[in-house]
Amino acid sequence: MFDALNVVDLDTMKVKKRLRLGFKPRAIQADYKRDLLIIGGWLNGNITSTDFQLSKKLHEPLPVARYMRNFAYDDENGILFCACLRGLYEINVEMLIRDNKNISRN
């Protein structure tokens, strides 16, 4: 029930797209420069990224730490900061995507 990402059209305030994630999301971060939507799993503590069309995943789920509550983002350098139960983590998103070469971005 709570494993979905809802996309709301801000002109109409209507849900225009909805997708099932398979995990309970909480933190979310948009990177407009890199066409990235980064989603954090509350219970599983994984980072997942997709493009803005929500059409493809950009890397394998990255386990960070459970109870992922909030994100902050350095969009200049592609660095994600995660507040999780066990502390504060820094993730190089550019490197993460580059490391997952088996997943095509095109």
Partner 1 sequence: MICRPKHSTPYDVIYLPEKKIVAASFKMQGNNILSFWDNSDANMIVAAGTSKKDHNELTYFPLGQQLPECLAWDPKTETLFITRVGFGDHAVTAVDFSRYPELKKKWEIQIGFEPNGLALNPDFSKLIVTGIEGLIATFNPLTGKELGGRKRIPLAAGVNTIDTYQERGSSNVYLAMVGKNIVEMNSDTGAIRYARVQFRRRSDIGCSGKQKSVPDGHNVRRLERC
**List of residues contacting partner 1 (CB under 8 A):** 1-4, 6, 8, 10, 13-15, 17-23, 39, 44, 46, 48, 50, 54-57, 60-64, 69-74, 76, 79, 81-93, 95-96, 99-100
Q: Shortest gap between Cβ of 104 and partner 1 (angstroms)?
A: 14
Distance CA 24, CA 26 (A): 7
Vertex 88 angle, CA 87 and 92, to 5°: 140
Q: Shortest gap between Cβ of 68 and partner 1 (angstroms)?
A: 10
Q: Shortest gap between Cβ of 35 and partner 1 (angstroms)?
A: 14
**One-letter amino acid for residue 36 of the chain:** L
Nearer residue to partner 1 within complex by CB, 3 or 105: 3
